[in-house]
Amino acid sequence: MPTVRAAAAPSGPSRLPSLVLLGVLWGALFPITRLGVEAGANPFALVTVDFLLAAGTAFLLAVGLRAMRPSALSLLESAALGALMIGGINLPLFWGEQFATGGAAAIVYATSPGISLLVLLAARRVPRPSAVRLGALALGLSGVLVLSLAAGSGGPITDGWGLAAFALGATCQGIGAVLISVRRPHGEERWGQAAQFSGAAAAGLATMGLLSAPFVVPTAEPVLLSIAYMGIVSLVIGYTLFFRLIRDAGPVAANLVTFLNPMVALALGVLAFGESFRAVEALGLLLVLAGLAVLERPEPPPGQPAPRTPGPSSLGS
């Protein structure tokens, strides 16, 4: 079985810009998709249509760019990975938000870097990280907790079923990122992405069948906006960045994007809706940024001083 790809050399470019961009793209997804659900779209139907749009867009890009097509077996494997990770992340999220708040989702999904790390450690694919890096992970997670509690009214926990759904989604994200790093050490290209989105769409249709969910997707403008944003921006562009982060920095580092979602929600609230920026939110923001700053620094071998050149960390690579 292939090993997990090592992180880029310290002299290479920082992964932080890609991580921030992905955090913005995925963080803005929550309020935009809520528009579609509030306009009458069934959550499973909405996300399944998004998967189908993403699969069609990735297929057209693969054909238009004349990408090399992998074997049928490789495409089937990509479809299975997509059903597990892309479907496994988004379907529980869309279902769980009917019962628990977005703040609860942010907190639970922010455990996915830790889940990836536990899987890698159990498989003995990475050395145990230092106490400093483990502390930085905990620091970032505490910042997510503070931001999510500050944004919620009456606390983030509203229903156990919603929290269970989020836990399932976070587990799929943590394990799925590790599997992709192992099975696709050189990255997932256009044909593989199209297969992954197709596998996610199949998972969505199967879930709707099991739950007897109605396939209701109104053609109102908020629904169409939601579909266009998630199908093309969040899925096609977002997962292209995510797969590259997994390839270049490892599954744990790529999943640090979950630390940024509450920060994006906070920025949208302040800039777009004129919400106040309070001291508790400043504290949460500082905790997340401090954790990311430590994790962004390369870790030297034991007994050597830390290098001054910034670069991707080796945590979970």
- Per-residue model confidence (pLDDT) at position 14: 60
> Alpha-carbon distance 186 to 189, whole Å?
9
Which pLDDT tens digit goes with each residue over 135-168? 999 999 999 988 877 766 444 445 678 889 999 9
289-304 mean pLDDT: 71
pLDDT tens figures, 76-108: 999 999 999 999 999 998 888 777 777 778 888
Does 311 fall in a domain? no
The residue ranking higher by pLDDT, 146 or 61, is 61
- pLDDT the model gives residue 313: 45
pLDDT tens for residues 181-203?
999 999 999 999 999 999 999 99
* For residue 209, pLDDT beyond 80: yes
In a domain, 7, yes or no: no
End-to-end Cα spacing for the chain: 16
Indicate whether 178 belongs to any domain.
yes
Q: Which domain holds residue 132?
A: 26-296
Distance, CA of 151 to CA of 65 (rounded, Å): 43
**71, 42, 16, 61: which is closest to 194 by C-alpha?**
61
Q: What is the pLDDT of residue 10?
A: 36
In a domain? residue 148: yes
User: Is residue 3 a part of any domain in this protein?
Assistant: no
Determine contact, residues 29/229, Cβ cutoff 8 Å.
yes
Split into its structural domains, the chain has a count of 1
How confident is the model at residue 231, as a pLDDT? 95
In this prediction, what percent of the chain has a pLDDT beyond 90? 51
Is residue 13 in a domain?
no
Tokens linked to 203: 């998972």
Is the pLDDT assigned to residue 118 strictly greater than 50?
A: yes
Contact (CB, 8 A) for 283 and 145: no
8 A C-beta contact, residue 148 and residue 106: yes
Is residue 9 scored above 70 in pLDDT?
no
CA atoms of 145 and 220, how far apart (whole Å): 35
Q: What's the chain look like in SS3?
A: CCCCCCCCCCCCCCCHHHHHHHHHHHHCHHHHHHHHHHCCCCHHHHHHHHHHHHHHHHHHHHHHCCCCCCCHHHHHHHHHHHHHHHHHHHHHHHHHCCCCCHHHHHHHHCCHHHHHHHHHHHCCCCCCCCHHHHHHHHHHHHHHHHHHHHHCCCCCCCCHHHHHHHHHHHHHHHHHHHHHHHHCCCCCCHHHHHHHHHHHHHHHHHHHHHHCCCCCCCCCHHHHHHHHHHHHHHHHHHHHHHHHHHHHHCHHHHHHHHHCHHHHHHHHHHHHHCCCCCHHHHHHHHHHHHHHHHHHCCCCCCCCCCCCCCCCCCCCC
Confidence of residue 316 (pLDDT cuts 50, 70, 90): low
For the cut 60, the answer to whether the pLDDT of residue 291 exceeds it is yes
Instruction: Say what the pLDDT of residue 216 is.
Output: 86
Per-residue model confidence (pLDDT) at position 300: 55
Decide if 20 is inside a domain: no
Position 14 in a domain: no
Q: Please, which pLDDT band fits residue 236 given cuts at 50, 70 and 90? A: very high
* Model pLDDT, residue 279: 86
What pTM did the predictor assign? 0.85
- Across the chain, what does the average pLDDT equal? 84
